[in-house]
Structure 1
């Protein structure tokens, strides 16, 4: 485990920074690809000294000192991705949190997405090589995870087909659902954070489905969680979508035929817009979408944990969201006992931006008007900005840009 003040890694330019590959183990033993973004500043992980009684500080002076020591601990942020979205998509945002706000950031691919494929030999090798090193140094000579596939040059020699057959997609026959993401994968991510940073305050950024699954967790995993930021966490109930008839056709008519033919959801293979998904994940997504209370309609057994979830929540959604621009408050209503604020933003009127949509918050174009204002205010100071304040800050950002 890292010491109280780990030596800062060598400073690198943001454009060349490569996060440290890690392996996360889901509750059922499935290996997940993850990445660890370490800040250039010292990482403070030692617990505050609780002088006085066994229960903590015994007077106000000691209590104030204890609070300051706790505040000095390095925060750990978990970023949980949207459906059919790889962890690499959040690179710039994770880099901002780690290199500019001094936080440790963990990203990961859910099972069946990105590099978290079944029987991934690289993940198995990396796990075996790091089992005895809780936090391997950034300069480790361990082999990196395989790079994203790129197009083959015209004159390059193409790999020969084995036995004259096209290589089988690893998702064919692979059984996985969104429920697995919530009850197996995400607890494994929290376990990693709790193991390596047991005393550090934790923050959580959930994008779309990454927010849906969080309240399903037992409080054992979220015991160090201080605050949660939801981005575009809206309902995918077909009736609430901006184009409900198209969504119904997509979920329940067209996609089942395509998925049956391919054996998985060919988001990238066929359309090139989303990542490929295990067939069960898409079927789970569509099943939840048939209920007005979305995931709680499909999995009512989650309701007790949703009712018990009390971590403060701040949710941002956008009026030009292609999936659903109005249903974010409905999701927040399913978490009734958490202190929460849900803010809808119009990109043109509030931010002077052409588009944000479902994915655009994590583009660098939102850095000045949202990351450095609303995100900083919430994750660092614990203040949830209202719509008017965000608009005012966006106007100031435009003014500074013109200077």
Structure 2
């Protein structure tokens, strides 16, 4: 297995990427779109595992003005930039770099929700959505729901705009976010229509994706419970969908939750995430 860095153009920005390659010709190439507020380095071990054990070349990257792709402070980036423009750019970059291999998309949380707003979906052979769902704040179980409601407090968007970013690290709720990423994310998660309630997002094409979609939920995921994952199925009406629920005890883990499913601690679950190595 080998690793190379990639600089991915996305409009007037550059995204920092990392491509893990198997030692032989890849059987497929996969772009991994990460969750909101999760740096690409979190997925490095999973990407390496895909290359070493599944024969996939896997591209991971950071969205604009986040992680290794520059600072959130003073950024004008929006969730639309991350979920539509940057995801499209990363997929197009991978397709251009390795044009002859089948193209797969792996999306964690935000990473699995935005394909209907992108183009060129007929070139995708397989999609894996992992803990991705149209979540309303009321979907979260208690006591986690209390934390979520505090995070979506109406005082935070104007505060973030005044500061020029959401100081999530200082709040001990993750990594700093661009102010408008947070504000748009808040609209989605506090509206019954999720991103359909966002007039700035544009119109999706839910019929464009027709390949197989493996939709993976995690039984103990408080942030995106299984019922929210299954709600996302409506976004892909023409795709051939398969539902998978991963129970921690079934893969020898005490807990998985929302993040660890694709992080190093979730390694015992990775075969269940990807399914048979056919």
Could you tell me which residue of structure 2 aligns to residue 359 of structure 1? Answer: 259
Where in structure 2 are the equivalents of 1:244-283 lying within 5 Å? 244-256=145-157, 258-260=159-161, 262-268=163-169, 270-283=170-183
> Once the two structures are superposed, what CA deviation does each residue of 1:323-377 show, in whole Å capped at 9, x if it has no partner?
13131111122222211122233323x3342100001112344334x32345141
Whether 2:55 is the aligned partner of 1:102: answer yes
1:207 and 2:108 aligned: yes
Partner SS, residue 125 of structure 2: strand
Hey, what does 1:34 align to over in structure 2? Answer: 17
Structure 1 residue aligned with 2:228: 327
Distance across 2 between alignment mates of 1:180 and 1:189: 12
| Conservation of the 8 A alpha-carbon contact between 1:318 and 1:344 | yes
Deviation at 1:174, TM superposition (A): 1.6
Q: Deviations over 1:167-211 (max 9, x none)?
A: xxx433320111111332112112212212222101111000011
- Whose radius of gyration is greater, 1 or 2? 1
Shift of 1:34: 0.5
Mapped to 1, the partners of 2:228 and 2:61 lie a distance apart of 26
Cα 1:277–1:357, aligned 2, differ >3 Å: closer, same or farther?
A: same
Q: How far apart in 2 are the matches of 1:34 and 1:297? A: 31
Q: What pairs up with 1:304-343 in 2 under 5 angstroms?
A: 304-325=204-225, 326-343=227-244
Query: TM-score normalised to the size of structure 1?
Result: 0.63
Q: Which has the higher strand share?
A: 2
Give the CA deviation at 1:245: 4.8
Find the aligned partners of 2:77 and 2:158 in 1 and give their Cα distance: 19
Sort the Cα spacing of 1:193 and 1:324 in 2 relative to 1 into closer, same or farther, 3 A: closer
Q: Pick one of 124, 127, 152 that aligns with 1:225.
A: 124
CA separation in 2, counterparts of 1:99 and 1:352? 22
RMSD (Å) for aligned C-alpha atoms? 2.2
2:8 match: secondary structure: strand
Which stretches in structure 2 are left out of the alignment for 5+ residues?
none
Tell me the residue number matched to 1:239. 138
Q: Deviations over 1:235-288 (max 9, x none)?
A: 3321222244542332133533642453211122x0344221100000010011
Counterpart in 2 of 1:194? 95
> For residue 52 of structure 1, what is the aligned residue in structure 2?
none
The equivalent residue for 2:4 is 20
Q: Helix, strand or coil for the counterpart of 1:223?
A: helix
Change (3 A) 1:338 1:303: farther
C-alpha distance in structure 2 between counterparts of 1:177 and 1:25, whole Å: 17
Instruction: Report the Cα offset of residue 29 of structure 1.
Output: 2.6
For residues 242 and 229 of structure 1, the distance between their equivalents in structure 2, rounded to whole angstroms, comes to: 25
| Distance in 1 separating the partners of 2:273 and 2:33 | 19
Uncovered stretches (5+) of structure 1, i.e. residues with no partner: 1-10, 12-16, 45-73, 118-169, 382-403
Which residue of structure 1 lines up, in the alignment, with residue 271 of structure 2?
372
Give SS of 1:252's match. coil
Helix, strand or coil at the partner of 1:185: helix
Match of 1:162 in 2: none
Contact map agreement 2:83 2:110 (CA 8 A) in 1: no
